Amino acid sequence: MSKAIEVKNLKYRYSDDSLTIDDISFSIEKGSYTTIIGHNGSGKSTIAKLLLGLLEKQSGSILIDGIELNYENLDQIRNKIGIVFQNPDNQFIGSTVRDDIAFGLENHCVEREKMDPIIESFAKKVNMTDFLESEPTKLSGGQKQRVAIASVLAMDLKIIVFDEATSMLDPTGKREINRLIKELHEENEITIISITHDIEEVAQSDNVLVIDNGRLAMSGSPEKVFSKEKVMVKMKLDIPFVYKLGNSLRAKGVKVSNTLDLERMADEVCQYILKK
């Protein structure tokens, strides 16, 4: 598999004080589902904005789908990578759902005759067909986020960044959006980068990047990251209960595997007791 994103020695500071992003390097496989975790203010959103060229990197390099991001080819980059932000209201640009999905198409100079079919097919994909003429004030947060996703999808992108896209939603909205993201990932082979506080989502991802104070503290599979419980606790990051249990059991000499599956853990514990 080739790389969707390659970041090398990325540095960024907002003003004269300390580096907000301090020499971060990582790469993301095409078609993978990567989660980024880290406590508030660690620099996650800054990384997302740097990847999209919304902030200008100060040193290092960013390759998006093999193309080096610089200020001459931003339009090319934005044909490849899109973003869904946290606040549903502040990214709703059009005055209706239809206009909002059209906005990106207008910018990418899609032919006018082709816009309606595109808008309708993506509204259907996110289950918003009945709301095409609705204004944003008449929609719930979850519905607005679905529109934001449709707007990004309509631009035919290969990589989508979600910056805490569900953190302002109620539990139902959260569940809906998470399911939709997973569906998109599985059906369309879109590379997903999700900045999140939801440990269930992290546990299900292919790859985790842990950001702490502008540095990449850890990266790898969720199993690998969650097995470093002490480091995680030190960074004030939560890990799923099953991992905590597994870690404690292993510390006591009970040989259980690193799994998120509680049933499997129970079986292994029983087997261990039987063997003893």
Partner 1 sequence: MNNIALGKYIPLNSFVHKLDPRTKIIAMMFLLVAIFIPVGFTGYGIIGVFLIIALILSKLSFSFVWQSFKPTLFMLVFLLAINMFIIKTGDILLTIGTFNLYSGAVIQTVYIVLRLLLMIVITTMLTATTKPLDLTMGLEDLLSPLAKLNVPTHDIAMMISLALRFIPTLLEEAQRILKAQASRGVDMESGSFKEKIQAILSLIVPLFVSSFQKADDLADAMEARGYVVGAKRVRYKQLKFTFSDFITLVAVIGILVGLILLKVL
Residue 214 binds partner 1 (CB under 8 A): no
Residue 135 binds partner 1 (CB under 8 A): yes
Measured over the CA atoms of residue 183, residue 129, residue 124 and residue 154, the dihedral's sign is negative
Residue 170 binds partner 1 (CB under 8 A): no
Residue 106 binds partner 1 (CB under 8 A): yes
Shortest Cβ 237–ligand ADP spacing (Å): 12
Whichever of 36 and 202 has its CB closer to partner 1, that residue is: 36
- Choose among 162, 169, 167: nearest CA to 143: 169
Residue 15 binds partner 1 (CB under 8 A): no
Shortest Cβ 109–partner 1 spacing (Å): 5
Residue 67 binds partner 1 (CB under 8 A): no
- Choose among 34, 19, 23, 40: nearest CA to 237: 40
In angstroms, rounded to a whole number, what is the distance separating the alpha carbons of residues 142 and 168? 9
Tokens describing residue 175: 């569940």
Q: Give the footprint of Mg ion on this chain (CB under 5 A).
A: 45
Shortest Cβ 192–partner 1 spacing (Å): 16
Residue 236: CB atoms within 10 A of its CB come to 11
Angle, to 10 degrees, between the axis of helix 141-154 and the axis of helix 171-188?
20
Strands (E) across the chain are located at: 3-12, 21-29, 33-37, 59-64, 67-68, 81-84, 159-163, 191-195, 207-212, 215-220
In angstroms, rounded to a whole number, what is the distance separating the alpha carbons of residues 41 and 21? 11
- Given candidates 19, 115, 249, 269, which one binds partner 1 under the rule CB under 8 A? 115
In angstroms, rounded to a whole number, what is the distance separating the alpha carbons of residues 153 and 82? 8
Shortest Cβ 20–ligand ADP spacing (Å): 4
Shortest Cβ 120–ligand ADP spacing (Å): 34
Whichever of 77 and 210 has its CB closer to partner 1, that residue is: 77
Whichever of 153 and 208 has its CB closer to partner 1, that residue is: 153
Q: Which residue is nearest to ligand ADP (CB)?
A: 45
Whichever of 90 and 137 has its CB closer to ligand ADP, that residue is: 90
Residue 254 binds partner 1 (CB under 8 A): no
Which residues lie closer than 8 Å to 67 by C-beta, 6 or more apart? 73, 76, 77, 80
Residue 189 binds partner 1 (CB under 8 A): no
Residue 132 binds partner 1 (CB under 8 A): no
Residue 160: CB atoms within 10 A of its CB come to 23
Shortest Cβ 49–ligand ADP spacing (Å): 8
- Choose among 134, 108, 127, 129: nearest CA to 117: 129
Q: Give the footprint of ligand ADP on this chain (CB under 6 A).
A: 14, 20, 38, 40-46
Residue 56 binds partner 1 (CB under 8 A): no
Shortest Cβ 27–ligand ADP spacing (Å): 20
Interface residues with partner 1 (CB under 8 A) are: 49, 52, 54, 75, 78-79, 82-83, 85, 87, 89-95, 99, 102-112, 115, 135-137, 151-152, 155
